[in-house]
Amino acid sequence: MSDIAAFWLDSLPQLLAGLSISLQVTGAALAIGFPLGLLLALGVQSKVKAVKLPSLCLVEIGRGAPALVVLQFAYFGLPQGGLTLSAFAAAVFALAWNTGAYTSEIIRAGLESVPFGEIEAASAMGMLPRDTLRFVIIPQGLRVAAPALLGFAVAVLQATSLCFAIALPELTSNAYMIGTITFRYMEILSLAGILYAAICVPATIAVGVLEQRLGKHAL
Amino acid sequence: MIHGVALGIPWTLAVTAAAFLIGAALGLPLCAMRMSKLPPLRFIGLAYIILFRSIPPLLLVFFFFFGLGSGFLPISAFQGAVLGLGLITAANMAEIYRGALSAIHFGQWDASEALALPSYSTYIDIIAPQLIRVSLPSAASYAVGLLKESAIASTIGVTDISFNANYIAKSTYQGLTVFGIAALFYIMISLPIAALARFADQKLRARVAL
Amino acid sequence: MNHIPDTVNLSRMHPVGEPDKPILRLEAIRKKFGEHVVLDDVNISLKSGEVVAIIGPSGSGKSTLLRCVNMLGPATSGRVVIGDLVIDEAVPPTAQQLTQLRRSVGMVFQSFNLFPHMSVLRNVSLPQERVLGRSRKDANKRSLELLARVGLEDKADQYPARCSGGQQQRIAIARALALEPQIMLFDEPTSALDPELGLEVLAVMQELARSGMTMLVVTHEMNFAETVSDRVIIMADGKIIEEGASREVIRNPTSDRAKRFLKAVKDR
Ligand SMILES: Nc1ncnc2c1ncn2[C@@H]1O[C@H](COP(=O)(O)OP(=O)(O)O)[C@@H](O)[C@H]1O
Ligand SMILES: [Mg+2]
């Protein structure tokens, strides 16, 4: 028992360094992905074909292809097109695309939940459509979408484990590396699992609480 | 090149189907535990669901393949992937069932009780068929998600679509094309699953109208 | 004014016990939801073949009372006596008692509660197979007789969703009859229906009453209460405030509370 504790203590710094990279990738992917999702949500609803079609393509591929394949596409594929990304950049590229594609649907549902009467009321008061969008529809739509967006943020943190495939030294990769050296996979993968759970369990519970609260206000 | 990637399709389908079946079956008792009147059972159910939704699928698959596999219980890459994904699917299916249960009118329980139906009959004859019918759309979209998630099996050596794409990309330096083809395969497989689910849903809806 | 069509079937199809001994007795039924007293010392006794209507304002505890009779929602205290079956509401019954109770007591709900994923025939046959142990063939034969009795044998192969509300409620009555109960409980069987569809359900209930079935009916149909039932019970705030011969109670109520309620119903 104390043997495992000592092993965990020894390995912890390396895992924490990995976790730090996982969190950086998550943060960057969300920072790019959420605004991208909002843009795509608006773009898909656009009446201009030149905006609508590319938006639709980005969403459908981002949702239809496995994140792992998009990741490998970014890291191993893009060089064929003359663009070579570092593992970190490729990870952010792929996960931001993934985030944008999925959250565009979440945000679209949120925007559509804003009652039509409020939009009419805003224009009746003489608000410009642009201002109605900015001050009435988007803030309310995002509030409705908030629990699902937080839920997706948890999914992105978990998805950073895929970066094992492009040798980015994040949490799962580091745990695996320690496993190959010490051959104590069970213990080290368990510790990595505990670290993921330490972040994801509270976040998942928070999503549930947020959903309930929002449900109460909406009624 | 297309042919090489396509060789992985049966494995992708096998991992997805096996994990889904395990999860759909295990999800039922898990859902029952989650909704049990007994606090310890309810806690175990809830803890399982939260825990398995909080650990990255890749890590869990590693845990079974490398962790269990390293001396504890010899396990193939296919088995490891199916076990890991299946246990996660169980947690998610349990939540899908729970949502579906709340959509079943309480009068169905009342009527079953008033008609003195034994509880096995209430569950098998009355509740389960309606549960399956109500959960069908969510279960189908989960299955499509699982199809894509199954790509992680390639990281432990299951020769699925993603594995073959990776292999060919590295040997030909044509990653852009190869991964594009792989993505297309996944999208093409998910289309009939979604269509089938829609078809079944409409067919049942026309008859049953819950 | 509702007109209930006459039916010719006056034969007594249902078993009759000893004439004087009550077939169903509810004794000192009390029920609390937390601190809220919903039923306060309710006593009712039904003779075999008797039809009793319970009326009263909404929230007075009528549904709760019916659910105590077949233990769908047991009372806090009191007893239900059916023949030699004695159920103490405060004590969890044995599985065997519960089955005996529910076989003796059929129930029809306001919202029909047919099983939507089964054909009409399966709806009626399933309880016979699972509870009475009948073969599929025998159960179906009996189901078709019962469906004929409620005028719906041609709907046997349909799904409930394809039937009108009135038809669904008649199917629900056939289903409840399939276990050959001694007593039938009805909880506002026509409240979810358009008046016209309600009439066809009331006609089936009237035929059932004439055939000698013992019935306890919660209803808002004053015409049914007055003309079909033998006795009327008025409930308010969890208590019986008035009871007696139907016409007497409805035409000449004695308590102020009952007068107020009946006036409100007539003015509607
Ligand atoms: N499950 C319950 N929990 C708490 N209170 C209830 C419940 N069911 C019924 N009640 C209360 O019991 C009272 C009687 O309800 P009910 O029997 O449905 O009346 P009725 O059928 O006469 O309209 C009402 O005040 C209602 O609010
Ligand atoms: Mg009621």
Ligand 1 pocket test target in C32, C63, C69, C185 with most atoms within 8 Å of CB = C63
What pLDDT does B132 receive? 87
DSSP string, chain C: ---PPP-------S----SSSEEEEEEEEEEEETTEEEEEEEEEEEETT-EEEEE--TTSSHHHHHHHHTTSS--SEEEEEETTEEEETTSPPPHHHHHHHHHHEEEE-TT----TTS-HHHHHHHHIIIII---HHHHHHHHHHHHHHTT-GGGTTS-GGGS-HHHHHHHHHHHHHTT--SEEEEESTTTTS-HHHHHHHHHHHHHHHHTT-EEEEE-S-HHHHHHT-SEEEEEETTEEEEEEEHHHHHHS--SHHHHHHHHHHHH-
User: Which of A65, A73, A186 minimises the CB distance to B70?
Assistant: A186
Q: Which domains does chain A have, with CATH numbers?
A: 2-218 (1.10.3720.10)
Between A218 and B2, whose confidence is greater? B2
- Both structure tokens of C164: 């009108």
C190 CA distance to ligand 2 middle (Å) = 12
Domain coverage including residue B51: 2-208
Distance, CA of C56 to CA of C238 (rounded, Å):
10
Between C169 and B197, whose confidence is greater? C169
The domain that holds B35 is classified in CATH as: 1.10.3720.10
Q: Is any atom of ligand 1 closer than 6 Å to the C-beta of C64?
A: yes
What pLDDT does C18 receive? 56
Average pLDDT, chain A: 90
Average pLDDT, chain C: 91
User: Which of A65, A185, A193 minimises the CB distance to B186?
Assistant: A65
Residues on chain B touching A80 (C-beta within 8 angstroms):
173-177
Q: What is the mean pLDDT of residues A170-193?
A: 94
Torsion of CA C112, C116, C121, C127, to 10 degrees: -70
| Amino acid at site C248 | E
What pLDDT does A114 receive? 82
Neighbours of chain A (3+ CB pairs under 8 A): B
- Both structure tokens of A75: 């890291």
Residues on chain C touching B116 (C-beta within 8 angstroms):
98-99, 102-103, 127, 131, 179
**CA C237 to mean position of chain CA atoms:** 21
Distance, CA of A5 to CA of A174 (rounded, Å):
18
DSSP H helices in A113-160? 116-124, 129-131, 138-159
Report whether pLDDT(C4) > 50. Answer: no
Asked whether C186 and C216 are in contact (CB, 8 A), the reply is yes
Residue A169 is classified by DSSP as -
- Both structure tokens of B150: 């199954």
Asked whether C72 and B114 are in contact (CB, 8 A), the reply is yes
pLDDT digits (tens, 9 = 90+) for A70-102: 999 999 999 888 899 999 999 999 999 999 999
Share of chain C above pLDDT 90, in %: 88
Q: What is the homologous superfamily of the domain C22-267 according to CATH?
A: P-loop containing nucleotide triphosphate hydrolases (3.40.50.300)
Given a cut of 50, the residues of chain B with pLDDT beneath it are: none
* Torsion over CA: C52, C58, C60, C61 (sign): positive
pLDDT digits (tens, 9 = 90+) for C127-144: 999 999 999 999 999 999
- Say how many domains are in chain B: 1
Distance, CA of C42 to CA of C18 (rounded, Å):
24
Asked whether A7 and A192 are in contact (CB, 8 A), the reply is no
- State ipTM: 0.89
> C69: nearest CA in chain B?
B114
Asked whether B148 and B194 are in contact (CB, 8 A), the reply is no
